[in-house]
Amino acid sequence: MLLKLNKTFKAIALIFAGSIALFACQEENNGIDTNPDQYTLAIPTGFPNPSIPSDNQFSKSRVDLGKELFFDPILSFDSSIACVSCHAPAYAFSDTNKVSTGVLMRKGTRNAPAIINAAWLTSFFWDGGVGTLEQQAIGPIENHLEMNNSILDVVARLKKHKSYPAKFQKAYGRGPDVFTLTRALSCYERTLVSGNSRFDQFRYQGKDVLTAQEKRGMDIYFGEKAECFHCHGEYNLTDNSFKSNGLYEVYADSGRARITGQAKDIGKFKVPTLRNIAKTFPYMHDGSLRTLEQVVEHYNSGGKNNPNKSILINPLNLTTQEKADLVAFLKSLTDEEFGR
């Protein structure tokens, strides 16, 4: 009897000790929902998995919240413009104006970049001033030419809103603050994925959906004739570098040099993706080229003399037919479903 009691006692003691060991050092839940509603990002064929920040994993409630904020003029100081005002879905989340119009009809200084496949980008703004989408969200809100607001004032507004506090709580386990506001916006922006143009279907899905002219243009793009692929290659049709394409002899906008402070970076801007390029006119950092034909003509000319111009920019000597073929191919980069 005594032996049995001993064994029982040992078992209980061991279970007790084991339980203490298992639970003693459990970290406190920091209030963030650890069971988010499921959201799966659709990765296009040919794309690698994007790197998603650990503090901003996808969930349906986060994406919905971010989308609502993206379309809400509450972010601007006079509630007159929203993100969508300069990033229109019908134009691949770009602006058809040379430069965007902010509050009080103030004009910006650069063409609004299209928001395409931002989940795969490593720098934001034309000069690559910030490295995350979360940090990027602050820029337009506080730029006096754009939304002209203080992000702290935006947070204060959201806290007083009749429905936002509950939506933030559901998405992030806490109310509106700088952290959750920037994360909600960027969570939504990461869902803006484009990878199903006819070129993608041809290249990655084996579908013969390009015309003969588009195929000729594709050969010019990826061949030695134009070598566009050097800067606009890879799965997202950009190498994410900063280059000067010789648009000007002297640049009014210092470009990347604004960030690095180095003279060698004057006139260099982020190489944008060419996905949906037919929808994201006008072109260049200042929106100075209105049509794809003008863009092709610029590159065909070899650009202007500028000490920082990329060595990859040289006269192409394309024929009239070849220029037309190249433009046709560029138009095949449109993903008709994107932005709908």
Partner 1 sequence: MKILLWPALACLSFLAVSCEDKVDDSATPNGIAELHVHQVVKNKLVESGGTYTLSSGRKMQIDISAFYLSNITLKSMEGKEYSFPAALFIDNTEKENVLGNLPPGTYTSMTLHFGLDSATNHSDITQYPDGHPLALQEENMHWSWSTGYIFMKIEGSVDTTASMQGPISSEFAYHLTTDEFYKDIKFDGLSLIVKPGQTKEIVLQMDYDQLFKDINPAKERQTHTTNNKDLALRMWNNLENAVKIE
Q: Which of 203, 258, 290, 304 binds partner 1 (CB under 8 A)?
A: 258
**42 binds partner 1, rule: CB under 8 A:** no
Token match 């009239």: residue?
A: 320
Angle between helices 151-160 and 164-172 (to 10 degrees): 100
User: How far is CA 332 from its chain centroid?
Assistant: 21
> According to the binding rule CB under 8 A, does residue 24 interact with partner 1?
yes
Tell me if 148 contacts partner 1 by CB under 8 A. Answer: no
User: Rule CB under 8 A: is residue 32 a binding residue for partner 1?
Assistant: no
Which residues, including other chains, have CB under 8 Å from residue 255's CB and lie 6 or more apart?
Answer: 126, 127, 242, 244, 265, 266, 267, 268, 269, 285
Question: CA-to-CA distance for 231 and 281, rounded, in angstroms?
Answer: 19
Instruction: Pick the closer one to partner 1 by CB: 68 or 177.
Output: 177
Residue 6 within binding range of partner 1, rule CB under 8 A: yes
By CB under 8 A, tell whether 175 contacts partner 1.
no
Task: Select the residue interacting with partner 1 from 73, 129, 165, 302 (CB under 8 A).
Answer: 129
Q: Interface with partner 1 includes 20 (CB under 8 A)?
A: yes
Residue 142 binding partner 1, by CB under 8 A: yes
Nearest approach, Cβ of residue 313 and partner 1 (Å): 26
List binders of partner 1 among 214-243 (CB under 8 A). Answer: none
The stretch among 19-27, 38-46, 83-91, 288-296 that binds partner 1 (CB under 8 A) is 19-27
Phi/psi at 311 (nearest 5 deg)? -70, -10
Q: What's the closest the beta carbon of residue 23 comes to partner 1, in angstroms?
A: 9
Q: Which stretch binds partner 1 (CB under 8 A): 21-29, 81-89, 190-198, 294-302?
A: 21-29
Q: Is 131 in the site for partner 1 (CB under 8 A)?
A: yes
Q: Toward partner 1, which CB reaches closer, 16 or 229?
A: 16
Helices (H), the chain: 2-23, 60-70, 83-86, 133-136, 138-142, 151-160, 164-172, 178-189, 198-205, 212-222, 257-260, 292-301, 320-331
Shortest approach of partner 1 to residue 25 CB, angstroms?
5
21 is a contact residue toward partner 1 (CB under 8 A): yes
Interaction between residue 294 and partner 1 (CB under 8 A)? no
User: Whose CA is closest to 137, among 174, 82, 100, 194?
Assistant: 82
CA distance 251 to 267: 6
Q: How far apart are CA 336 and CA 197, in angstroms?
A: 7
**Nearest distance from C-beta of residue 237 to partner 1, angstroms:** 25
54-68 per-residue burial string, b: 16 or more CB within 10 A, e: under 16:
eebebbebbbbbbbe
How far apart CA 312 and CA 239 sit, in angstroms, is 13
Please report how the helices 178-189 and 60-70 are oriented relative to each other, as an axis angle in degrees rounded to 10: 90
Size of the site for partner 1 (CB under 8 A): 38
Under the binding rule (CB under 8 A), the answer on residue 261 touching partner 1 is yes
> Does 263 sit near partner 1 (CB under 8 A)?
no
182 makes contact with partner 1 (CB under 8 A)? yes
Binding site residues, partner 1, CB under 8 A: 6, 9-10, 13-14, 16-18, 20-21, 24-25, 55, 125, 127, 129-132, 134-135, 137-139, 141-143, 150-152, 177-179, 182-183, 258-259, 261
